[in-house]
A and B are shown apart, each in its own frame.
Chain A
Amino acid sequence: DTGVSQNPRHKITKRGQNVTFRCDPISEHNRLYWYRQTLGQGPEFLTYFQNEAQLEKSRLLSDRFSAERPKGSFSTLEIQRTEQGDSAMYLCASSLRTAGTGELFFGEGSRLTVL
């Protein structure tokens, strides 16, 4: 499978615990994005990497959230001290560095449930 891969697909945790999601982009893609999607809403942008550099962060990305992309390959999104409001689908997408309308390729998402 050469698409965007996300793990785990589903995570159930208790409030206050830390969770980490991993995204493996399409191998030749140098851009990587994280989005959050709650029920009945469209995806909301969280952050963006070009290679290993985190170039853009949404104000939605509170200090409990941290994302990394070491060596410009896979990426991790960690949520510390989870809250019930963090329950959502976390989507990863990747793209090639092309001007303008570069197509984003999305993974199937990691669903977080905070009890």
Chain B
Amino acid sequence: AQTVTQSQPEMSVQEAETVTLSCTYDTSESDYYLFWYKQPPSRQMILVIRQEAYKQQNATENRFSVNFQKAAKSFSLKISDSQLGDAAMYFCAYRSAVAGYALNFGKGTSLLVTP
């Protein structure tokens, strides 16, 4: 089974600054999808950004961008111009393109945004 590792249990960033959350994964597959989900306190999880493994171009969604390094099996999330509303748990997730529909999540990184 594919494993997703988030090595930073907690991160802190000041408002308006940039922060990068790390994610690595283990797979023998060549075709797959990667996601970052955000889970605010006591609220539902929402999709932040997604990346298809066959695309070399890194995905970008407004202030959120990823650094996808397929050979290194690394998928980091960069949040620019951090806002107080960015404070949440962030989960990296992997989904196979050929075997099943389950998302495999990492343990998450808790992001604190300070004024």
Contact = CB atoms under 8 A, between A and B. Distances in A.
Contacts of A44: 105
A107 B45 CA distance: 8
Contact of A106 (B46, B100, B101): B46
Given A56-B100, A91-B45, A104-B103, 11 more contacts: A41-B108, A42-B4, A42-B108, A45-B103, A58-B102, A101-B33, A101-B95, A106-B45, A106-B46, A108-B43, A108-B44
Contacts of A106: 44-46
B47 A31 contact: no
Contacts of A58: 102
* Secondary structure class of chain A's binding surface, majority of residues: loop
Interface of A: 3-4, 31, 33, 35, 40-45, 48, 55-56, 58, 91, 93, 100-101, 103-104, 106-109
* Of listed A40, A56, A100, residue having the most chain B CB within 10 A: A100
Contacts of A100: 33, 52, 97
Interface of B: 4, 33, 35, 42-47, 50, 52, 91, 93, 95, 97, 100-108
28 contacts: A3-B44, A31-B101, A35-B103, A40-B108, A41-B107, A41-B108, A42-B4, A42-B105, A42-B107, A43-B105, A44-B105, A45-B102, A45-B104, A48-B101, A48-B102, A56-B101, A56-B102, A100-B33, A100-B52, A101-B33, A101-B35, A101-B50, A103-B50, A104-B103, A106-B44, A106-B45, A106-B46, A108-B42
A75 B35 CA distance: 25
